[in-house]
């Protein structure tokens, strides 16, 4: 099985209670990506996404654009790995 591009992203700011997870789920339908998104107890949103590198980058750019004004900081780490997700979900 071929490796995919994986990104782990933490969004800070006013990112809970504003439809962030739902927006991330809806935007994922427009790209060839898989993963999940969830709220963290410390007020951040944690997003894991994988797919072709161009799709992952375009997806994350679209999420940031959609949630512009709510996101203050983005911490992102990326690497290639074996696929681990099927579909996209809210956790």
Q: Structural domain boundaries of the chain? A: 4-90
What is the pLDDT, as a whole number, of residue 23?
Answer: 97
How much is the pLDDT for 6?
A: 98
pTM over 0.75? The answer is yes
Q: What pLDDT is stored for residue 88 in this prediction?
A: 98
Positions in the chain short of pLDDT 70: 1
Active site residues: 21, 39
pLDDT of residue 44: 98
Note whether 50 and 7 are within 8 A (CB).
yes
- Phi first, then psi, for residue 18 (nearest 5°) are -125, 15
Under CATH, what is the fold of the domain 4-90?
Alpha-Beta Plaits (3.30.70)
Rounded (10°) angle between helices 20-28 and 53-66:
140
Task: Give the pair of three-digit tokens for residue 79.
Answer: 């690497």
């Amino acid at each position: 099985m071929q490796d995919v591009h994986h990104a782990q992203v933490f969004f800070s700011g006013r990112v809970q209670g504003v439809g962030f997870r739902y927006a991330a789920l809806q935007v994922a339908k427009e790209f060839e990506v898989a993963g999940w998104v969830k709220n963290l107890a410390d007020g951040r949103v944690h997003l894991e996404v994988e797919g072709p590198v161009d799709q992952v980058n375009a997806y994350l750019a679209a999420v940031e654009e959609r949630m512009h004004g709510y996101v203050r900081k983005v911490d992102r780490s990326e690497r290639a790995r074996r696929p681990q997700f099927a579909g996209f979900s809210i956790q």
